[in-house]
Chains A and B, each alone.
Chain A
Amino acid sequence: MAKKAKEQVRFNPKWSEAKRIDKARLAIVGRQNTALWAICLGISLLMIGCLVFASLIDTEEFLADNIVGVFVGGSAFMSFMMFAGSTILPMGKILDRTERLQRNMLKGSVKLTDTFMHLPVKKVSAYKQSFGYFGVLLFFSSVPCIFLNVMVLLDDRFTGVVAGSSAVISTAISAILLMFYLIYSSMWKMKGKGSSYFCTAMIIVFYLIWIGSMSSFMNVIFELAWLQALAGMPALCITAASVLFILLAQKLYVEKKQANAAWEF
């Protein structure tokens, strides 16, 4: 009886609506999601840890291994998984066909958004819940870029391919972070299939850069002098500006625009 009383969930008026949404989401999706989250978080932290320690402890071998992409891309990918697996907003603009296929296979809704739009919560709170997890993506994808570009400034040995690749990765990740607003049409609304094609193209570019920075076939591009010149302070500025833009846009524009918005996307 005591156990049953402990399990009883009650409405908590002290929580924000975004937190209530997240608690409800966790109740619906179950423990598998938490396990997936823990695995992705662990790998992401491991990637960042390896990047920092490998570059500091044995810099020569780190630079010779051409391994920047493994750590930066790996961390960004894992953090994207954490974000995509936790947001209640639809990833429809990117995964539209996959979602439709799943809906048909399961003979019903697979989107959490479909459930929440019928519950006593506002769309803006769903944006806030989603943005909380987007912060995770923001952190895990920008920290390795910031670290690498700081290293370019501090250590001459980081110039060359690493400089070129970190400049490109910083730019790609900045662009992908900005894509958040396009996915949810929260700032720009591309008509028809435009946003889907744009998002798909961005992801392909990101993966090409990711794979390219792990092998040598992209070195021709990474060794371009003007690209290497972007590494360090310019790349730090690009990353900082995109992060700042995202935070300000969310607080000053998106949350105001969505305050009384209908749930359609």
Chain B
Amino acid sequence: MMNQYALEVENVTKEFADFTLDSVNFRLEKGMVMGLVGENGAGKTTIIKLILNAMEKTAGNIRIFGMDHVEREVEAKERIGYVSDDDYLFVTSSIKQYARAFAHVYKNWDQALFEKYAKMWKLPPKKKFSEYSKGMKTKAMLALALAHHPDLLILDEPTAGLDPVARIEVLDILREIVEAGERAVLFSTHITGDLDKIADSVTVLIDGKVTESMAIDQIEDKYAVISGSLDALNASNESLCIGIRRGTQNFEALVERKYLADFNEVGVHTPNIENLLTFSIWGHREEIVELEGEKNNG
């Protein structure tokens, strides 16, 4: 039976001295775009490093197109295109040199396609990588990543640090790639606005834990953002909120729609990815503060 998933992450744990990526689970279907969102330090890059076997996992399984990512590392990586915010290229070399290098290691390297992208995105082939602007670097990495016809694109904060024009250009390129509909894309970012137009699903990562992994259209089916006077909150309905943002007189909160009846005199709004992420983070922080308070009192 054909495997329908491009990427399966099952109970993946990675323990560090001061941080733990705790039993992470998510699945990315072929041809779909998944946003991996979380604040800085939530563990997004760690997951990507684990997928690429750049880091050893403590426990769990990762499969790429049904292949174990360690035992069949070469075959798996052959089908991955990787773009990152952090330059992983040797900065004193040119992309022409890189294209020659990649041609040695990728079976499906397509020089004509690489040259097409380089020409289309106006990338001087002989210029040193370090002399490229931030936007050009991202485009160069995309050209190198796409020229071996990957089936899975892993993008680790590709738009972070880009100026607005370069960010829109890169997003337009990504949208074109995604609209072709053949590639699965794992798009890690903390800029949730980038995902609104291209993502099919989202996985929210907070402090090393996946708090939600769902289709984008399920967000508004499952959740709602409510707002109103602080008087509308009480001890019993407050615990139903995933996260609350309090002002001096008013509040905003994310709740599951099934609990809406527990709140009186509140406005109800449709949430987006940013709401899901930010309220989840605030809820998590409050939980930590409460736990620390209990510890101190106890």
Contact = CB atoms under 8 A, between A and B. Distances in A.
Interface in B42-65: 52-57
A29 B77 CA distance: 23
Nearest to A9: B103
Interface centre among A27, A112, A264 (most CB of B within 10 A): A27
B101 A110 contact: no
A172 B122 CA distance: 54
Interface string A1-45: 000000011111100010011011101111000000000000000
Interface in B22-58: 52-57
Interface string A89-114: 00000000000000000111110101
Contact of B91 (A110, A118, A261): A110
Interface in A102-147: 106-110, 112, 114-115, 117-122
Interface residues of B, number: 37
A11 B104 contact: yes
B279 interface: no
B222 interface: no
Contacts of B91: 106-110
Contact of B74 (A10, A17, A24): A17
Interface stretch (B92-100, B167-175, B281-289): B92-100
Given A11-B106, A20-B104, A28-B97, A264 B55 contact: yes
A51 B107 CA distance: 47
B106 A27 contact: no
B90 interface: yes
B104 A27 contact: yes
Contacts of B100: 9, 24, 27
A121 B101 contact: no
B71 to A, nearest CB: 6
B130 A24 contact: no
A231 to B, nearest CB: 45
Contacts of A220: none
Contacts of A11: 103-107, 109
Given A28-B98, A30-B93, A262-B53, 19 more contacts: A9-B111, A10-B109, A11-B109, A24-B102, A27-B97, A27-B100, A28-B97, A108-B87, A110-B92, A117-B53, A118-B54, A119-B105, A120-B73, A120-B77, A122-B73, A122-B74, A262-B54, A262-B70, A263-B54
Given A8-B111, A120-B74, A262-B70, A27 B52 contact: no
A10 to B, nearest CB: 6
B90 A110 contact: yes
Given A27-B97, A28-B98, A109 B107 contact: no
Nearest to B87: A108
Interface in A26-83: 27-30
B78 interface: yes
A13 B78 CA distance: 14
Given A109-B89, A262-B53, A118 B82 contact: yes
Contacts of B78: 120
A120 B93 contact: no
